[in-house]
Amino acid sequence: MPPLALTLIHRLIASLVVLVGVSMLMFAIARVIPGDPARIALGPNATEAQVQALRRERHLDESLPRQYWEYVRELMHGNLGVSLYSNRPVRVDIAQYLPATLELVFAAGLTIVVIGLPVGVLSARYRGGLGDHLGRIASIMSVSTPAFVWGVILQLCFAYLWRLFPIEGRFTATLTPPPPVTGFFILDSLLAGDGGALLDSLHHLALPALALAMAGIGQTARLTRASMVDTYRKPFIEMAEAYGFRESRIANRYAFRPALVPVLTILGLDLAALLGNAFLVESVFGWPGLSRYGVEVILHKDLDAIVGTVLIIATAFLIANIVVDLLVALVNPRIRYAGGRS
Amino acid sequence: MTLSRRILGGAVASFLLQATPSFAEPLFRLDASAPGEADPDKGIDYIGSVLAFNLYDALVVPGQNGTPVAPHLATAWKIDDDDYIFTLRPDVKFHSGNIMTADDVVFSFKRLMALGKGNSPLFADRVASVTALDPHTVKFTLSGPYAPFLGAVARLPVLDSKLVMAHKADGKFGDMGDYGEAYLSSHDAGSGAYTLVSHVPESETNLAKFDGYFLGVPASAPDKVRIRYGLQPATVRELVASGQQDMTSQWLPPEVMRALAERKDTHLLTDRGSNILFLHMNTQKPPLDDVNCRLALTYAFDYATAMKLVQITDKVSAATPANGAIGKSEFGYNASLPMFAQDLNKAKDFLAKCKYKTPDERKLDITWITEVPAEEKIALLMKANFDSLGFQTTIKGAPWTLYTQQVTKPESTPSLSEVYIDAPTPDPDSILYNMYSSKSPPTWESASHLSDPEVDRLLDAGRKENDLAKRKAIYEQVEARLDAVAPAIFAGEVSGVFVGLNTFKLPPFEDDSKRFSAEEYGLQFRMVEMTK
């Protein structure tokens, strides 16, 4: 079996174990949060009989292992339970909100790569120069300022004062959104061949994605620079310089590629962290995503929704890590040929 | 070429729409606290009730000027022992075009009770049967005397049974399938002044005017309404200031409200229903099991400063002084009682009569709900007031879920707990019985754990008396008795304060003579007058 396939199988098995662990942990933690979920859901005027009926319906009157077994049994049928908060199946809620969050996270991830990597490469190539110093200062600023502060700053300047972008939302209220196929407005606009909808989606996405990406841009730029500066000190770079290769060739071919391994690993973790940070940005920009939903269901002690949301986010985290592992293996032959042993 | 043109056109449209001022659109835009529930048999929060009142109608509605309820879908009703017989209007059309009949009322009641959510507790164990006597007459037979029933009927939305059953899916209700649960989570089946165009919980709801509304909708009312959920205060501030939102929710921090209220293009609106800030005192735990200690705290509390803490402008405050557990526009309000005010001499007199004398015996713990930051300021004010009287006070914040669990048992309930509570129906029983009758099972509302035979007797009498004048007298006595036994400090009558652009007026939130006896009912979009 090819080493890459072995790596993939190992990662998938490990991920499955992690997901089972996460589900058990979240199941227990959600039940430790104080408060009776049935009473919270039904309100103060509910009779004791109504509260008991809801407890029975949701198996809340049974032992924790029994509750977990019922949950897993339903999960096997693709049923994540019913939200006490929104009164809808958790699966429906997640299907509603997840694409918005993923669209935001992917856009932010793309922004990190498109801006962070080149800034890091240029800083390393012109290390010690004015551009390098400015790049490093900007990187530190972007890393040290939380995403929600960036959100408010960008919103205030570009949306409120200069009116260049919308203040909030995912689509202009008076326009018709693209027919839902994937739930990703950009993809759906492309599938529908609707240029107006595409531009409107991008127009709404730009500020939240940039706000979410800011810390990642700084971190990626700093890491890329540090990693490349380190690579520049390696003997093979000296050899390339001795051969008289052009600066751009040395930077792009010999210095950048080895430097990419740690950057890719951190990028993978960054992308996963974006799912968590998205809550604040979603709140500032009124972005109807899963992160905001996750916080609301925790506050309402909505047991099934808490576990369902965390499971989905954990799955996204694991997928991002697997993809990064594969990318790293593709970039680095030593890791690739070590296969599942790495 | 075609795609390029479309993209260019889209870009231009997108930018133009961002720059379009609010008065150019027949659209009323507001924000609300999430989630927003479209199914009227499930939503009990503020915006869930607002949606129900705008999309659906009930047999009766909250009244005005001290009247608890007024006719609506029912033109008249007759109370015969435990039977309530309603005569229905013959001219009410649902949004589908179906005519409303008594069968729809029977269906709506059965659906509400089968789902067991929303306002179903108002009727649980109270109604023995409901029957359609003819297409325009419906009879509810109660299982015993229960005068608050009429007020509860204001929270029974009537659904288009034919439309709901045409869209039923498989479910746990036998022949009724899912009782239209899936359908009604994003569609409406009402007869209200507005129809549901689209609904995404937590995100937004769009409504459109219903031209076939049986009471008619004024031309000045907005053609469309857009409600956004869960927006942050900073975002709302920018939206209003840039003319992209007409009205805020009531949950903005006071400093943001003040900033918006200072603008020349805005005005403030208030929803004065029946919301009281209760500072519950645990009557089962020392030192507040002694009524003299409770009364001492009642007179030590600085009501005037509490009002200032929630003052928005010189003219508008989020609270006004209260004289008891019943709000001014609520049925049963006792106008003869004086407004509460700090009186340290009286406080000291009562404290002298209190059986707990030593500092060790005069320890108090105060809990405030962490999701409501304004409560912390009131808690700090209480600490300052009570410590100066000789109590040792500690303050602790508790999240809502912990609070609800903590206060259901006297032994775990703090000495004082802060909570805003409004009555779910226009009848004072809907709040006072749960809170102060010792027969009512303990809930988060009953954190004082009062056990007073006179209060119990009066509350039971109020449930049995159908004569309006006699009922009013009973609740006036209830309010007076509660002031005497002091199960809580009635810190103020709380108003929901909203900021609105000067592009509209909403008389039930601006004109005292047009206010309704229940919160939320005033936010009816057909009563919004777009002025620009």
Order of all β-strands in the sheet with B266-281? B319-320, B488-501, B266-281, B416-422, B363-369, B392-398
For B286-296, what is each residue's pLDDT tens digit?
999 999 999 99
Backbone phi, psi, residue A198, to 5°: -60, -50
**Tell me, what's the ipTM?**
0.80
Give me B200's structure tokens.
Answer: 């995404």
Of B7, B206, B406, the CB nearest to A195: B7
Beta strand B488-501 with B504-505 is unpaired
Contacts of B40 in chain A (CB under 8 A): none
Helix-strand-coil percent breakdown of chain B, rounded to 5? 35, 25, 40
Which 3-state string (H, E, C) describes B85-137? EEEECCCCECCCCCECCHHHHHHHHHHHHHHCCCCHHHCCCCEEEEEEEECCE
Of B117, B234, B434, the CB nearest to A284: B234
Q: Is B347 left (phi over 0), alpha (psi -120 to 50) or beta?
A: alpha
Cα–Cα distance between B324 and B329 in angstroms, integer? Answer: 13
Which helix (H) or strand (E) is B84 found in, with range? Answer: strand B83-88
Q: Indicate the residue type of B95.
A: H
**pLDDT over threshold 50, residue B24:** no
Cα–Cα distance between B160 and B432 in angstroms, integer? Answer: 33
Distance from CA of A29 to the nearest CA of B (A): 14
Which residue in the block uniquely carries the two structure tokens 């039904």?
A42
Which residue in the block uniquely carries the two structure tokens 């649980």?
B124
Which of B42, B45, B117, B422 best probes binding to A when mutated, by most A CB atoms within 10 angstroms?
A: B117
Of B447, B471, B527, nearest to B79 (Cα)?
B471
Indicate yes or no: CB of A283 within 8 angstroms of CB of B11: no
Which of B25, B235, B370, B402 best probes binding to A when mutated, by most A CB atoms within 10 angstroms?
A: B235
Which residue in the block uniquely carries the two structure tokens 């031309």?
B219
Kindly report the pTM of this predicted structure.
0.85
Of A107, A155, A203, nearest to B12 (Cα)?
A203
Length of chain B: 532
Helix-strand-coil percent breakdown of chain A, rounded to 5? 75, 0, 20
For B229-280, what is each residue's pLDDT tens digit?
988 898 999 999 999 999 999 888 888 999 999 999 999 999 986 678 899 9
Cα–Cα distance between A65 and B448 in angstroms, integer? Answer: 37
Whether B195 and B188 have beta carbons less than 8 Å apart is answered as yes
Cα–Cα distance between B459 and B475 in angstroms, integer? Answer: 8
Indicate yes or no: CB of A45 within 8 angstroms of CB of B121: yes
pLDDT at residue B209, as a whole number:
96
Indicate yes or no: CB of B405 within 8 angstroms of CB of A36: yes
Q: Which residues contact A262 (CB under 8 A, 6 or more apart)?
A: A223, A227
For B475-503, what is each residue's pLDDT tens digit?
999 999 999 999 999 999 988 899 999 99
Whether B508 and B522 have beta carbons less than 8 Å apart is answered as yes
Indicate yes or no: CB of A35 within 8 angstroms of CB of B25: no
Indicate yes or no: CB of A160 within 8 angstroms of CB of B443: no
Which residue in the block uniquely carries the two structure tokens 């408010």?
A152
Contacts of A96 in chain B (CB under 8 A): 200
Residue of A nearest to B32 (CA): A286
pLDDT at residue B23, as a whole number:
40
What mean pLDDT is predicted for residues B46-56?
95
Indicate yes or no: CB of A87 within 8 angstroms of CB of B242: no
Cα–Cα distance between B350 and A21 in angstroms, integer? Answer: 59
Q: Which residues contact A88 (CB under 8 A, 6 or more apart)?
A: A82, B185, B201
Position B25 confidence tier, pLDDT thresholds 50, 70, 90: low
What mean pLDDT is predicted for residues B70-88?
96
Give me A142's structure tokens.
Answer: 């972007």
Using alpha carbons, list the distances in angstroms from residue B467 to B77, B144, B459, B473: 14, 16, 15, 10
Contacts of A53 in chain B (CB under 8 A): 116
What mean pLDDT is predicted for residues B141-160?
96
What's chain B's average pLDDT? 91
Which residue in the block uniquely carries the two structure tokens 């979240």?
A26
Distance from CA of A196 to the nearest CA of B (A): 3
Which 3-state string (H, E, C) describes chain A? CCHHHHHHHHHHHHHHHHHHHHHHHHHHHHHHCCCCHHHHHHCCCCCHHHHHHHHHHCCCCCCHHHHHHHHHHHHHCCCCCECCCCCCEHHHHHHHHHHHHHHHHHHHHHHHHHHHHHHHHHHHHCCCCHHHHHHHHHHHHHHHCCHHHHHHHHHHHHHHHCCCCCCCCCCCCCCCCCCCCCCCHHHHHHHHCCHHHHHHHHHHHHHHHHHHHHHHHHHHHHHHHHHHHHHHCCHHHHHHHHCCCCHHHHHHHHHHHHHHHHHHHHHHHHHHHHHHHHHHHHHHCCCCCHHHHHHHHHHCCCHHHHHHHHHHHHHHHHHHHHHHHHHHHHHCHHHHHHHHHC
For B320-366, what is each residue's pLDDT tens digit?
899 999 988 888 999 999 999 999 999 999 999 999 999 999 999 99
Residue of B nearest to A164 (CA): B15
Which of A86, A148, A167 best probes binding to B when mutated, by most B CB atoms within 10 angstroms?
A: A167
pLDDT at residue B352, as a whole number:
96
List, for chain A, all residue ranges whose pLDDT scores fall below the cut of 70.
44-45, 335-342
Residue of B nearest to A193 (CA): B3
Of A40, A199, A283, the CB nearest to B10: A199
Q: Indicate the residue type of B45.
A: D
